Each structure stands twice: as C-alpha cells, then as structure tokens.
Amino acid sequence: MAWLVTGGAGYIGSHVVRALAAEGLDPVVLDDLSSGLEEFVPAEVPFVRGSILDGEVLVDTIDRHGITGVVHVAGYKYAGVSVQRPLHTYEQNVTGTSRLLAAMADRSVDRIVFSSSAAVYGVPPTDTVTESTPKAPESPYGESKLIGEWLLRDQAVAVGLRHTSLRYFNVVGSGEQNLYDASPHNLFPLVFQALLEGRTPSINGDDYDTPDGTCVRDYVHVADLAVSHAAAAKRLDAGETLESAYNLGSGDGVSVREIMTAMAEATGIPFEPVVAPRRPGDPDRIVAEGALAARDLDWKMRHTLLEMVSSAWEARRAAA
C-alpha cells in the first residue's frame, strides 16, 4: 500500500513524506515544482513531476504506484495574494481538488487526508477557536479551503470516501536542516531575510489588548504537524472513523514580540523591532484548541518556541 502526497516537494509536504515513511507508509510524491523543490524529496521516494489539474497524470500515478490513499497538501497557499489572484486560487485549490477526487473515485482510492487551513475561520468571534467555531473566510484562499472540505464531505456521501481535514495555523520550524520555508510571505522567512540583509524587522502595532501589547497567534512546529498527518493516514488505513476536521493548534499561542525576542536569541543578532502601524482588522488574539487532534492524531507540541525558531534559522542558513 502506498500513499500519494500531493505537494510533497514543498515545505510542509516534504515533512509529511518523512513522517509517513517513518511509520512504514510508503510515500509517493506528486508535485509540479511551482513552489516546491525537488531536492526536498528523499532519493528513495518515487517522484512524479505533474499537476493535480492533470487528470491523466493523476490516474497514471495511482495505477503505476499502487496508491491506496492520498495526503493532499498541494495548493496555492498565499491568503493575502489570493485577493489579487482569485481565479488562480480557485483553479489550483478547488478545481485541482475536484480533479484529484475524480481520479481517486475512478481508481477506487477511498481515503484522503486534506491540508486545510485556519483561514476557513476568518476573524473568529472568539479568541480561542474550536472545530465548531463558525466558518467565515475572508480571502479567496480561505474560501477555497472551505470548499475543499465541502468537496470531501459531499464525495463521502456519494461514493463512501473516508476523509479528514487538518486545519493549520502558523506552521514554522524545520525537522531537518535541508528543509526550509521558502515562502516570500510568511513571518519567519521575512524576518530572517531582513536580518541577513541588515534590516530591522518590524511589528505591526503594540497597543493590542494582550500582555505585551502585540498580537498573539498560534505557532506550531512543522514536524509535529507531519506526525499527525501520518497518524491520520494510519487510522484511515485501519478502517477507523475520524472527525471530519481537526485544528492543529497549541491551545496557548505566543505574541509577535515574543517571536522577535526568540529570533534575536536564536540568530545571535540583537535587535529591537520597529513598531509599525496596526494592520486593519487584525484581532488581538487567535489561538486554536487542539484537544480533538490530541485525542485522535497523536497531536502535541513537542517543541518550544526557541526550538521552533532555532531549527528554522539553521535550515535557512544551510540553504544560503
């Protein structure tokens, strides 16, 4: 039995590939390398360069590699940019997911773990998010992820698809020194790049209703996230029933200023962040309750904030 990891050459997907292999689940990677890197795929793991928009490639990959399950990580992941590129976002995340599900149904592949997002909640009415918190996405990206969850739900009714969706919050860190976050939009790479270029990172507002005045958010280590994907795959393989969706969150959260302090310590580059104006609509605090995932998917916070930052910095320096 083999598990297809779409987007398996990306930052998150490559960690999922390693977690699956560690649990004896044979991973196969499909990635178009639009943002992933082929060197992130272990040499012993089969790699197919192709798009989830290509139904023929999907069916051929399933047939050639004996695929029995899918971890669907591929997609367009830039929430802010999705506002300027809504059609591209929907094509990649909605049409792509639909074609993947069609190929799975055509070849009787009946289990999938879906990479969803905290963006399905938008700006929630409460500062602690549970799986039942109302969904109110505020970007095409968030909307596309929620539609992806609906597609799985409806396909389950239609053909008996067994599925779960894992909602990510802020994914950081590195599980191996050669795997790093190359996103041009995420906080950690942006801060690292500023420090490497001799610029001072900034904080957007320091007058929020939080202990140190800066926004509190949920940050989770990418390797911890990957472990829960493998746990979900194993339970689906065993024929067990899972919840339709799980939050992968800390239940606690850290402030932006705490992140900056950890950045200075981990990098050895002392700095005092510049305080920039607030961004409109930024809530004081958003933290996710991860109790359901802890119960079912071996979810827990195995890394401290400093370990998250240090591992990310070491991987970024190794890539320089």
Nearest to 118 by CA among 141, 89, 88: 141
Question: Which residues have CB under 8 Å from 84's CB, separation 6+?
Answer: none
| Tokens standing for residue 37 | 């890197």
246 is an active site residue: no
Catalytic position from the list 11, 90, 141, 246:
141
CB 74 within 8 A of CB 6: yes
Degrees to nearest 5, angle at CA 315 with 48 and 80: 70
User: What is the distance between the alpha carbons of residues 58 and 56, in angstroms, rounded to a whole number?
Assistant: 5
Catalytic residues: 141
